[in-house]
Amino acid sequence: MRPADHSAYERYLPWKRTVEIGYWVVLTLINAIGNSITVAMDVRRVDLDFATWEPVVWETSSGVVMLALIPAVVWFSRRFPLHWDTLRRVLPWHVLGSVVFSVAHVLGMVALRKLAYATQGLDYPFGPWPSELFYEYLKDVRSYAGMVATIEIYRLLLRRWQGEASLLAAPDEGEPLEPVERPERFLVRKLGREFLVAAADIEWARASGNYVNLRVRGHDYPLRSTIGGVEAKLDPARFVRIHRSYIVNLDQIGSIEPLDSGDARVHLREPGSGPLPCSRRYRDGLRGRAGVGG
């Protein structure tokens, strides 16, 4: 693959965090403004005795707490990602997560509302907690599901844009493909295109949640696997484990820098590649395998 094929994705990377944060902030702001206007209109329509600022406080407090909870939802969805083959196992965790999410949301927004009302010399009447908590949960579970769906779809699109690696399918009888148990090539799908990556071209691999990023010619291709699973499929004569989250191609090692802590840094031959961590558990074995000085 030519470097230009990655240019659009790589140009996006410096803006990635800004876009992600901006998306949730703008969405929360739009929802708060829109809901404040519609609730205020409903209050006027039925002639309820509420000041104009009260619906604004209700919706803003809810939105602020929702926004504060998004990092937790992002972390939780990464810890328990939703895939078809793991749906039955992780779905109960997300049901529990939605309950915790709702309770945190209600407690936070009630606290903010009481604070806002107190500045006006008033008390915010939340109502009977059991029934109100259940009522709020019926709304919050839909918000939680929408957040998780948005996060998972966004991650899927990023993986497809970046290029997602997978093992080659088992060959049909008579086809001269290599055994899948120790593949010589990985299949990469990128925006409807497919190409092969030689296992020998993998510079290093890093665990990232339920994926392992395979670094090939300066680009990362996520492979849905554990780091141990990838280690078992790579040639042990060429690849070595240096950390609980890292595997490195021995041909890529330039030097090993010992640290006072007993760990080490692995410096690569490729210019511009940052050092990789090597834990003390793997340090001695790595130096013997690599045959380089520290």
> What structural domains and CATH numbers belong to the chain?
3-162 (no CATH), 180-290 (2.40.50.1020)
| 24 φψ region: left (φ > 0), alpha (ψ -120 to 50), beta (else) | alpha
Among 112-116, 134-138, 273-277, the minimum mean pLDDT is found in 273-277
3-state secondary structure of 22: helix
The region, left, alpha or beta by phi > 0 then psi within -120 to 50, assigned to residue 206 is beta
pLDDT mean over 149-165: 92
Portion of the chain with pLDDT greater than 90, in percent: 62
* Per-residue pLDDT tens digits for 188-227: 888 778 889 899 999 999 998 889 999 998 889 999 899 9
Using CB atoms within 10 A of its CB, is residue 71 exposed (0-12), middle (13-18) or buried (19+)?
exposed
Contact in structure between 220 and 213 (CB atoms under 8 Å): yes
Retrieve residue 32's tokens.
Answer: 């708060």
pLDDT (average), residues 243-270: 91
pLDDT value of position 210: 85
| First-to-last C-alpha distance (Å) of the chain | 34
pLDDT at position 43 over 50 = yes
Position with higher pLDDT, 78 vs 180: 78
Model confidence at 3, pLDDT cuts 50, 70, 90, reads very low
In angstroms, rounded to a whole number, what is the distance separating the alpha carbons of residues 23 and 185? 38
Please name the residue that has the structure tokens 């619906």. 55
Q: What does the radius of gyration of the chain's CA atoms come to, in whole angstroms?
A: 26
Please calculate the CA angle 283-284-287 and round it to the nearest 5 degrees: 85
**In this structure, what token pair is assigned to residue 192?**
């409807």
pLDDT bin (cut points 50, 70, 90) of residue 1 is very low
Beta strand pairing status for 246-249 and 253-258? unpaired
Q: What's the rounded Cα separation, in Å, for the pair 253 and 292? A: 8
109 CB neighbour count, 10 Å cutoff: 23
What CA–CA distance (Å, rounded) separates 284 from 290? 10
